[in-house]
Amino acid sequence: MTHEMDRRRFAAGALALGAGAWLGGCSKVPDTARIGVAQPLSGPLAALGQDLLNGVQLAVDELNKAGFSIGGKRVALEVVAQDDRADPASGRAAAQQLVDAGVAAVVGHLNSGVSLETAPIYAARNVPQLIISTNPKITQLGLPTTFRIVANDALQARAIGSFAASQQGAGAFAVADDGTPYGKGLAEGAAAELKKAGKTIAVRQSFDDKTVAFAELAAALKREKVDVFVCMLNDFQALALLQELAKIGHTRMTLLGGDLVKTADMTKGGGLIDDIYATSPVLDVTEFTTGRQFLQKYTAAFQKPPAYGGHYTYDAMYVISEAMKKAGSADPAAITAALRSLNGYAPVTGTMTWDEAGEQRYGAVGVYELRRGNWELRMRSDRW
């Protein structure tokens, strides 16, 4: 523990020295500051990744139009995007390209498995990384450059397990995951909550994050008369499973997924089983006071509504810009130091501020029900 505390103090001190050296020894502010975005821009999660990129781009366009400046000097903000393909190896390559391109900060990644692999790359160059990934292990790496912009999976697992256990009349439960750090971590946490509540888990299976062949799983759910299925799979996987369940007539069931099930595409599954719920630390844009205004601006800019969490990455960009102003610099180390002490104004979600580990102080998890083609909030808490 002493060694870990010393390492953290050293890292924090190095950042402070780096920021001080930049401010004291080099007053030059660049004409252009590059902002890296690394998200899955191809493959099954491309719609989510593009949404997260769009949020950053919308904020950058607004800041540039308003004449963004650092220390009185006009600075043009430029988005540099990389496709991480929701794959750790591709993510590492994308991260290396971004730091080599001299980005001031990075908004990425979506997938926890990718963020776990890329966080050390950004930390090695003092580049702040603002993540929407939710696995607690990412901040447990102890890197001073990692900042999570939503609640983590420890809270979400408690929400999933608590809500699943509260389903009246449910006798048998099932839990499945996609084998990723995100899915597996959430599934294990939810299963532990169910066991604490004295519930029977009749089926527990792990897959990979690309599987869509679920005939055997559907048969097992029917055979074990599963009433509640805790589904830590992607939306396209959950839809494939629902289609198999419809084929064999096991539709008197409730599905409770994680935040990668709470998507626009998942609405195609409405009516295939009795109930579909999803938990998410990515609260719906309409839940916020200025959410409707953001929705209008986003739709006007991209000719479609947000698919996932574009409002969070939009806010993250505004917080990065505030950190640049506070630091009086576009140097990554100076921005990281500023973020550490910043209570950042976030135009949609209200505020973003972090604890010592880089966890969002005001993160919450909501439970949503799919009704009439829309996700409707059932309850929300930051305590669960």
Other C-beta atoms within 10 Å of 208: how many?
11
Q: Is omega for the bond preceding 311 within 30 degrees of 0, making it cis?
A: no
Mean pLDDT of the chain: 92
Listed in sequence order, the residues at least 6 apart from 167 whose beta carbon sits closer than 8 Å to its beta carbon are 227, 228, 254
Q: Are 36 and 108 in contact (CB under 8 A)?
A: yes
Comparing 2 with 98, the larger pLDDT belongs to 98
Task: Check if the beta carbon of residue 299 is closer than 8 Å to that of residue 309.
Answer: no
pLDDT at position 140: 97
Q: What is the pLDDT of residue 22?
A: 38
350 by DSSP, 3-state: which?
strand
Helices (H), the chain: 2-25, 46-65, 88-100, 112-124, 153-165, 181-196, 215-223, 235-248, 291-302, 310-327, 332-340
In angstroms, rounded to a whole number, what is the distance separating the alpha carbons of residues 240 and 356? 41
Reported as a single tens digit per residue, the pLDDT across 231-252 is 999 999 999 999 999 999 999 9
For the chain, the farthest-separated pair of C-alpha atoms sits apart, in whole angstroms, at 71
pLDDT at 344 over 80: yes
Percent of the chain's residues with pLDDT above 70: 93
pLDDT at 118 over 70: yes
Could you read off the pLDDT of 260-292 as tens digits, one per residue?
A: 899 888 999 999 999 999 999 999 999 999 999
> 57 and 78 in contact (C-beta within 8 Å)?
no
**According to the model, what pLDDT value does residue 264 have?**
83
CA–CA distance, 266 with 269 (Å, rounded to integer): 6
Mean pLDDT of the region 350-379: 95
**pLDDT for 161-220, tens place per residue?**
999 999 988 999 999 999 999 999 999 999 999 999 999 999 999 999 999 999 999 999
Average pLDDT over residues 313-324: 98
Residue 1, pLDDT > 50, answer no
Strand-pairing partners, residue 203, are 174
Cβ atoms within 10 Å, residue 1: 5
Cβ-contact 282, 150 below 8 angstroms: yes
| Radius of gyration of the chain from its Cα atoms, rounded to whole angstroms | 21
- The helix-helix angle for 181-196 and 112-124 (nearest 10°) equals 120
Which amino acid makes up residue 185?
Answer: G
Do the Cβ atoms of 110 and 39 come closer than 8 Å? yes
Tell me the pLDDT band of 257, cut-offs 50, 70 and 90. very high
Domains of the chain: 2-151+287-352 (3.40.50.2300), 154-280+365-381 (3.40.50.2300)
Whole-number pLDDT of residue 12: 46
Q: Packing angle between helix 332-340 and helix 2-25, nearest 10 degrees?
A: 120
Three-state SS for 137?
Answer: coil
Summarize pLDDT for 285-304 with one digit per residue, the tens: 999 999 999 999 999 999 99
Specify the pLDDT at position 18: 44
59-91: pLDDT as tens digits: 999 999 999 999 999 999 999 999 999 999 999
Residue type, 23: L
Q: What is the pLDDT of residues 7-64, one digit of tens each?
A: 444 344 444 434 443 343 344 899 999 999 999 999 989 999 999 999 999 999 999 9
Tokens of 24: 């004291």
Tell me how far apart the alpha carbons of residues 187 and 256 are, in angstroms, rounded to a whole number: 11
